[in-house]
């Protein structure tokens, strides 16, 4: 029962910003948005999360719209190692609702 919608795939040129969109139109006020990525054959890796405000860390930035119905993960300078499946997740209490993710390919 995924609560998010993401494009199935995207390409990005190496060194450019990668902007990954996510729709979560049914999100409730106390539900967090999380982003993880999964590189082939590995467990998902935490990237960033937020509730209402935009967030930034050493890996990425998260932009959440004012109505909270969508968000964008920004990788500021994509490298080949950023090629992975990116999951946008709504956390409801302890429960993470994974969708099918966006397969990002960084092109040299």
User: Which residues contact other proteins by CB under 8 A?
Assistant: 2, 34, 36, 42-46, 49, 87, 91, 93-96, 98-101
Nearer to other proteins, 18 or 86 (CB): 86
Nearer to other proteins, 79 or 95 (CB): 95
Nearer to other proteins, 26 or 45 (CB): 45
Q: How many CA atoms lie within 13 A of 91 on its CB side?
A: 11
Minimum distance from residue 14 beta carbon to other proteins (Å): 26
Minimum distance from residue 21 beta carbon to other proteins (Å): 17
Contacts 24+ apart (CB under 8 A), 2-6: 2/97, 2/98, 2/99, 2/100, 3/27, 3/90, 3/92, 3/97, 3/99, 4/88, 4/89, 4/90, 4/97, 4/99, 5/99, 6/86, 6/87, 6/88, 6/99, 6/100, 6/101, 6/102
Minimum distance from residue 99 beta carbon to other proteins (Å): 6
Nearer to other proteins, 1 or 67 (CB): 1
Minimum distance from residue 39 beta carbon to other proteins (Å): 11
């Amino acid at each position: 029962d995924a609560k998010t919608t993401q494009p199935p795939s995207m390409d990005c040129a190496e060194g450019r910003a990668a902007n990954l969109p996510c729709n979560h139109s049914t999100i409730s006020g106390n539900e967090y948005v999380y982003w993880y990525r999964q590189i082939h054959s590995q467990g998902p890796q935490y990237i960033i999360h937020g509730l209402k405000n935009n967030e930034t860390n050493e890996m990425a930035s998260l932009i959440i719209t004012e109505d909270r119905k969508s968000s964008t993960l920004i990788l500021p300078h994509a490298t080949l190692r950023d090629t992975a499946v990116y999951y946008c997740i709504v956390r409801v209490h302890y429960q993470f609702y994974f969708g099918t993710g966006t397969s990002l390919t960084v092109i040299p």
